[in-house]
Amino acid sequence: MKSLEEKTIAKEQIFSGKVIDLYVEDVELPNGKASKREIVKHPGAVAVLAVTDEGKIIMVKQFRKPLERTIVEIPAGKLEKGEEPEYTALRELEEETGYTAKKLTKITAFYTSPGFADEIVHVFLAEELSVLEEKRELDEDEFVEVMEVTLEDALKLVESREVYDAKTAYAIQYLQLKEALQAQK
Amino acid sequence: MKSLEEKTIAKEQIFSGKVIDLYVEDVELPNGKASKREIVKHPGAVAVLAVTDEGKIIMVKQFRKPLERTIVEIPAGKLEKGEEPEYTALRELEEETGYTAKKLTKITAFYTSPGFADEIVHVFLAEELSVLEEKRELDEDEFVEVMEVTLEDALKLVESREVYDAKTAYAIQYLQLKEALQAQK
Q: Cite the annotated binding site of B for Mg(2+) by residue number.
A: 76, 92, 96, 142
Pick B20's closest partner by Cβ from A6, A38, A108: A38
B101-121 as b/e, with b when 16 or more CB fall inside 10 Å? Answer: beebeeebbbbbbbbbbbbbb
Round the average pLDDT of chain A to a whole number and report it: 96
Nearest-Cα distance to chain B for A89, in Å, is 16
State the virtual CA torsion across B65, B67, B69, B75 in degrees, nearest 10: -80
ipTM: 0.96
Pick A110's closest partner by Cβ from B63, B145, B165: B165
Distance between CA atoms of residues B112 and B76, nearest Å: 13
- Which parts of chain B register pLDDT below 70? 1-2
Is the CB of A145 less than 8 angstroms away from the CB of B121?
no
Distance between CA atoms of residues A3 and A29, nearest Å: 10
Question: Please, which pLDDT band fits residue A19 given cuts at 50, 70 and 90?
Answer: very high
pLDDT per residue as tens digits for the range A94-103: 999 999 999 9
CA atoms within 13 A on the CB side of A98: 10
pLDDT at B185: 79
CB atoms near residue B136 (< 10 Å): 14
Is the CB of B116 less than 8 angstroms away from the CB of A40?
yes
- Which is nearest to A108 in space by CA: A42, A19, A48? A48
pLDDT per residue as tens digits for the range A86-121: 999 999 999 999 999 999 999 999 999 999 999 999
Is the CB of A115 less than 8 angstroms away from the CB of B64?
yes
Residues of A in contact with B45 (CB under 8 A): 115
Distance between CA atoms of residues B108 and B103, nearest Å: 16
pLDDT at A83 over 90: yes
Is the CB of A164 less than 8 angstroms away from the CB of B114?
yes
Of these residues, B133, B140, B152, B159, which one is catalytic?
B140
- Measured over the CA atoms of residue A134, residue A82, residue B111 and residue A159, the dihedral's sign is negative
pLDDT at A45 over 80: yes
The residue ranges of every structural domain in chain B are 7-41, 45-184
Instruction: Give B111's strand partners.
Output: A165, B120
pLDDT at A135: 79
Distance between CA atoms of residues A59 and A63, nearest Å: 13
Q: Which of B65, B120, B121, B123 would you mutate first to test chain A, the one with the most A CBs within 10 A?
A: B65
Is A140 a residue of the active site?
yes
- Give Cβ neighbours of residue B155 (< 8 Å, ≥ 6 apart): B172, B176
pLDDT at A139: 87
Q: Which of B2, B27, B38, B185 would you mutate first to test chain A, the one with the most A CBs within 10 A?
A: B38
pLDDT at A2: 62
pLDDT per residue as tens digits for the range B112-144: 999 999 999 999 999 999 999 887 888 888 899
Is the CB of A63 less than 8 angstroms away from the CB of B119?
no
Whether chain B has a CB inside 8 Å of the CB on A138: the answer is no
Distance between CA atoms of residues B29 and B112, nearest Å: 23
pLDDT at B97: 96
Residues of A in contact with B78 (CB under 8 A): 115
- Give Cβ neighbours of residue B168 (< 8 Å, ≥ 6 apart): A110, B47, B59, B72, B73, B74
- Give Cβ neighbours of residue B185 (< 8 Å, ≥ 6 apart): none
Whether chain A has a CB inside 8 Å of the CB on B38: the answer is yes
Q: Which of A116, A121, A156, A182 would you mutate first to test chain B, the one with the most B CBs within 10 A?
A: A116
* Fold classification of A45-184 (topology level): Nucleoside Triphosphate Pyrophosphohydrolase (3.90.79)
Q: How far is CA B83 from CA A143, A156, B35, B79, B86, in A?
A: 36, 28, 35, 6, 8
- Give Cβ neighbours of residue A38 (< 8 Å, ≥ 6 apart): A22, A23, A24, A116, B15, B17, B18, B19, B20
- Which is nearest to B167 in space by CA: B105, B121, B118? B121
Residue B69: helix, strand or coil by DSSP? strand
CB pairs A-B closer than 8 Å: 211
Nearest-Cα distance to chain A for B68, in Å, is 8
